[in-house]
Structure 1
Amino acid sequence: MLPLLFSLGIVYLFALGAGRLSAAIGLPRVTGYLLVGVLAGPTPGDIGLPALISHDHLNQLAFLHDVILGLIVFTIGGSFSLGTLRQMGMKRFRISAVEIGMTGLLVGLGTAACGISPLAAGFLAIMAVTTAPAATQMVMREYQSEGPLSDTILPLIGINNLVAIIAFILLKENGLAPVPNFSSLAAQLSEPLVLGVFMGMAVAIMDQRFTRPVERQMLVLAAVAVTAGMADYLDNSAIFATLVAGMVAVNASPYEKRMLKDLTAIDYPLYVLFFIMAGATLHLDALGHMGLVGLGYVAMRLGGKYFGCRLGARMAGVSPIIRTWLGPAMLAQAGLAIGLAEELSRMWPDQGASVQTIILSSVVVFEVLGPLLTRVALVNAGEVTVFNLLAQRSPVGFGEGLHQVLGHFGRAVGISHTDGPVHSGEIRVRHIMRRNVEVISNRASFREVLKTLGHSRYDRLPVVNDWQELVGVIKYADIANTLFDPCLHHLVVADDIATDTHLKLNPEDTLETAMQALKDYPNDVYLLVVEKENPRQLAGVVRHNDLLSSHFRSHSAEREGRAVC
């Protein structure tokens, strides 16, 4: 067996190359990391090929896997902003209830019709509800997605997993035990809840005392490890407790998501290792044992997630974009479903092993499809800029990279180089704009305007008419006078307070043009983009952050190119 550190170093190098290769051909990097895990894991070793990651290696890394999963779940819990939930009302819960209900119903009835027992079908229905937070979150971070769909995905994943854990505990205690033990059931539900609340409050209190990001990073790592470890010691659900801890910590801390923002500076390499281990533990041989029930499970879960999200989104009255693309973004499945299936197999050897085989085989399918469909959903929803997609490709080839390294080293030792021309690619507004724009109808009441503006991440809203033509923009400053005059509330609609804006670009404008507009209007958080042929047709928005980031990256690349010549 190879030394563990040597194996980790090699697989990290392979993951680096596989991630870049995946990005170059339009796949999420997560897919490349999973593939590295599959090829480096025990599966090739089982057929006589050398394995970089053996079963013993995986056993040694099991504790690290649990910590990383805890970080992911803590972050998902942190996405439950109670303020945002209040502003949205019951929309997210309505979507989640319909999606969970339809997925569970279709999978339960479908697998039972394929010949499995009703109790086993019930466990499969519960496991079908789970969604893998890690793969989805990694894809969103990779492409820096932002918009209503992105804001909806993570809280729904958290609700899905929380409901699945509670439902599993209920069915396990009542379906497998000869006599229902209500005291054990109460302990299984209350102990992780109390533990999560306690740890979340402790983190929120300590968060106020720390001023350095590294201290807050250590705090979250410690809290996740203690929560998961204590839950395991008490024989409770570590995922349940950690999810609650993240939700309480973020909502109780006066600094809200500051700790999660600091965590992003160190967690990505850990997440890469998590997916390498996930790929190494995928049971490809289980695909051959999927059977009719397994095929039914995969088909019913696909249908339940897609049509459940679509119907739930329609009932909640959200935008058509979310209705269309929410389902494909909710398909990834991995750790939680595997964990529940493993626990069921231990407690119910008779049929639990069959359920575990179905879950292990289906996870192979959903871990491959899930990240890819999440990427497709985010891109088609207009929440990923073209520039972020293009940025996945390497800025230089190997030959050019070698030339730059030798040139830089030559300058360091005093060897001069001749100057040469450098050509930088021209960036257009269409490369950095976001197409999924939150708008409001010009006929919306004043109360609707306030509610939408309160939920929006910006301090202004584009106003459109029935033909989706741009009428104007509502800024918070424009409604301040109306806001404090209750007599006018029932008389005012969006059209009355919308103001025309001259701050417009078209998709073919250059980066320099957009930067000049930013200088002319420094107080505006984004620039409106309208179609060149029809200035009243809203095409998207360009955020200042995206604009400045693109400007910095393009000029940095140009300066580096000049330095090499």
Structure 2
Amino acid sequence: MPILLSIGIAYILALGSGRLCAAIGLPRVTGYLMVGLAAGPSLGSLGLPALITQKQLHSLVPLHDVILGLIVFTIGGSFSLRAVRKMGMKRFRISAVEIGLTGLFVAFGTFAAGASPLTAGFLAVMAITTAPAATQMVLREYQSEGSLTDTILPLIGVNNLVAIIAFIMLKNSVLSDKATFSMALVQILGPFVLGTFVGMVVAIMDQRLTRQVERQILVLGSATVIAGMAAILDISAMLATLIAGTVAVNASPYGKRILKELTAIDYPLYVLFFIMAGAALHLESLGHMGIIGMAYVVMRLIGKFFGCRIGAFWADDSQTIKSWLGPAMLAQAGLAIGLAEVLAREWPGPGAKIQTVILASVVVFEGLGPLFTRTALVNAGEVTVLNLISQRSRVGYGEGLIQVLNQFENALGISTAAGRRGPAEILVGHIMRRNVEVISNRAPFDEVLKALGHSRYDRLPVVNDQNELVGVIKYADIANTLFDPNLRNLVVADDIATNVRLMLTPEDSLEKAMAALKNYPNDAYLLVVEQSNPKALVGIVRHNDLLSAHIRDLK
């Protein structure tokens, strides 16, 4: 079968599979992976016809690498150095504990299961990696927003950065008889030099290019150039692209504009990426993973869960991060497979066994990872109900056919149809976000100032010891105290909190919320409280969510 026909059929199947998964509460990316798995050579090895053959899959490798480059460039762009300065060492503490415990658990677990110390060491390094693509797709699908969402992508970048460097150092120190310090240095510093150069070029060109499509071409071309240069220089393309994204976004005066514009074209490419990723999964490897493979899977699960939780306690982070960061960091795919492939090539025998373990574990983690990420985001309150229920189709096939025929009759000027049925009413409870940043009414002024500096909004709700809403603090409320050093040591949050001018309830209609938007256009968000208890804060409604819901309601 021609490769274009295979890809076209896979795209159509992915559309249906993605919608089916969304309808039953699974991430769409799971559907895309399942289509790839069903269409790929893995099922062909079981005697079933393959829609995408191994030869076709191999011919798509350059396209796969370019799309992965776009994903990693976006991950790099999530590293805002300004945000890092504000947060201090909090996120790095979480990352250090999570990386350390995951590596230790996997190393000791696989060693106890019968692996050699060196094999256990390589498996520990690979366990650190986290798949950026699947995680990012889930974040985008559900339009999540909040502290957990802001934490996930940077930590994935740190994980992969550490894993690549650790792998290079371990491989060059134990698998070669030559003096390899200089080789290891080149393989570590090379991606930094290449990524920094390309990132600076992108930042400069970002200012000169005037059209959105030109900047999209720039990023696509940059990711392709890095992939090609990395192959020539035998360095990590993923590490170089990660650095390029970080440099480009932080050096450009326009910040993340170029990443936002990239979202207009990248989703269909990402769908193809996951079709290819699913086709590359090896189901048969599950039967060969053995005790070492099972130990790897179990220990990586434990390491990620407890590593993130303990790290969040050490960093004194929020309960949301403590509870739900671990489940959101489980996906594993491309980088681990790539490292295992290098190891199998350079360390025949033991390397091939490690590759079998990794290929089998990727089937598990790439299947469970997106589902755990979705669960974490929903339970963290960073996904609105509307974004969950809107995954379902607004009309059935029969109703859709009638509307299409009516519209065609309209175009011909012969329509006799009555007006269409309007959508179901949207309530505030459908569009509010439950993860609300609050501050205690007893917090000293400097803590208030720090909290506002870290917040994504220009105001913070204030609650008492019973978690009851007592007011809100805005930047304008702290101006006088900020410049009076005599007051700073005396004032607490309760002293500068002001009354909330308007509060909504989850049962309020979209029309009431839109009216509030007109009355208070300068408020970044509106507070939502229980209808029976106005002091019980249950969420916030952002202006952007209100406007998006209103536009959707009009369709």
**Alpha-carbon displacement from aligned partner over 1:376-426 (angstroms, at most 9, x marks no partner):** 000000000000001100011000110011111111112121425624311
Distance 1:111 1:45 in 2: 31
Q: Could you say which residue in structure 2 is the equivalent of 1:433? A: 432
Report the TM-score when normalising by structure 1. Answer: 0.97
Q: Could you say which residue in structure 2 is the equivalent of 1:134? A: 133
SS in 2 for 1:527: strand
State the Cα distance separating 1:479 from its structure 2 match.
1.2
Q: Could you say which residue in structure 1 is the equivalent of 2:111? A: 112
Q: Could you say which residue in structure 1 is the equivalent of 2:234? A: 235
State the Cα distance separating 1:469 from its structure 2 match.
1.1
**Alpha-carbon displacement from aligned partner over 1:138-197 (angstroms, at most 9, x marks no partner):** 000000000000000000000000000000001001121235421111111111111111
Aligned AA for 2:476? A
Aligned AA for 2:89? M
Distance 1:267 1:448 in 2: 41
Structure 1 unmatched runs, 5+: 557-565
Identity within the alignment, %: 71
SS in 1 for 2:208: coil
Distance 2:201 2:415 in 1: 58
Aligned AA for 2:409? G
Distance 2:423 2:63 in 1: 43
Aligned AA for 2:199? G
Q: Could you say which residue in structure 2 is the equivalent of 1:336? A: 335
State the Cα distance separating 1:47 from its structure 2 match.
3.0
Aligned AA for 2:65? D
Aligned AA for 2:321? I
Q: Could you say which residue in structure 2 is the equivalent of 1:158? A: 157
**Alpha-carbon displacement from aligned partner over 1:87-141 (angstroms, at most 9, x marks no partner):** 1110000000000000000000000111111001000000000000000000000
Aligned AA for 1:131? T
Check whether the contact 2:328–2:372 (CA below 8 A) recurs between aligned residues: yes
**Alpha-carbon displacement from aligned partner over 1:289-320 (angstroms, at most 9, x marks no partner):** 01000000000000000000000001101111
Q: Could you say which residue in structure 1 is the equivalent of 2:357? A: 358
Matches within 5 A, 1:112-511: 112-420=111-419, 422-511=421-510
Distance 1:133 1:183 in 2: 30
**Which stretch has the larger CA shift, 150-159 or 462-471?**
462-471
State the Cα distance separating 1:485 from its structure 2 match.
2.2
SS in 2 for 1:208: helix
SS in 2 for 1:462: strand
**Counterpart check, 1:512 vs 2:511:** yes
SS in 2 for 1:541: strand
**Which stretch has the larger CA shift, 27-36 or 192-201?**
192-201
Distance 2:178 2:522 in 1: 66
Matches within 5 A, 1:82-93: 82-93=81-92
Distance 1:471 1:419 in 2: 51
Aligned AA for 2:370? P
**Alpha-carbon displacement from aligned partner over 1:191-239 (angstroms, at most 9, x marks no partner):** 1111111111111111011121101101111111111211111000111
- Provide the aligned C-alpha RMSD in A: 1.0
State the Cα distance separating 1:503 from its structure 2 match.
1.4
SS in 1 for 2:457: coil
SS in 1 for 2:462: strand
Distance 1:56 1:399 in 2: 41
Report the TM-score when normalising by structure 2. Answer: 0.99
Aligned AA for 2:99? I
Distance 1:231 1:38 in 2: 29
Aligned AA for 2:78? S
**Alpha-carbon displacement from aligned partner over 1:254-311 (angstroms, at most 9, x marks no partner):** 1110000000000000000000000000000000001000000000000000000000
Distance 2:59 2:180 in 1: 36
Check whether the contact 2:406–2:417 (CA below 8 A) recurs between aligned residues: no
Distance 1:355 1:43 in 2: 19
State the Cα distance separating 1:452 from its structure 2 match.
1.4
Q: Could you say which residue in structure 1 is the equivalent of 2:65? A: 66
**Alpha-carbon displacement from aligned partner over 1:307-360 (angstroms, at most 9, x marks no partner):** 000000011011111100000000000000000000000000120000000000
State the Cα distance separating 1:481 from its structure 2 match.
1.9
SS in 2 for 1:205: helix
Distance 2:174 2:446 in 1: 49
- Compared CA separation, residues 82 and 421, structure 1 to 2 (3 A): closer
**Which stretch has the larger CA shift, 421-430 or 158-167?**
421-430
Distance 2:19 2:415 in 1: 33
Distance 2:422 2:248 in 1: 49
Matches within 5 A, 1:8-47: 8-47=7-46
Aligned AA for 1:223? S
Distance 2:224 2:344 in 1: 26
**Which stretch has the larger CA shift, 524-533 or 276-285?**
524-533
Q: Could you say which residue in structure 1 is the equivalent of 2:98? A: 99
Check whether the contact 2:340–2:355 (CA below 8 A) recurs between aligned residues: yes
State the Cα distance separating 1:487 from its structure 2 match.
2.8
Aligned AA for 1:455? H
SS in 2 for 1:80: coil
**Which stretch has the larger CA shift, 18-27 or 47-56?**
47-56
Distance 1:418 1:175 in 2: 76
SS in 1 for 2:299: helix
SS in 1 for 2:97: helix
Aligned AA for 2:329? M
Distance 2:312 2:178 in 1: 40
**Which stretch has the larger CA shift, 169-178 or 39-48?**
39-48
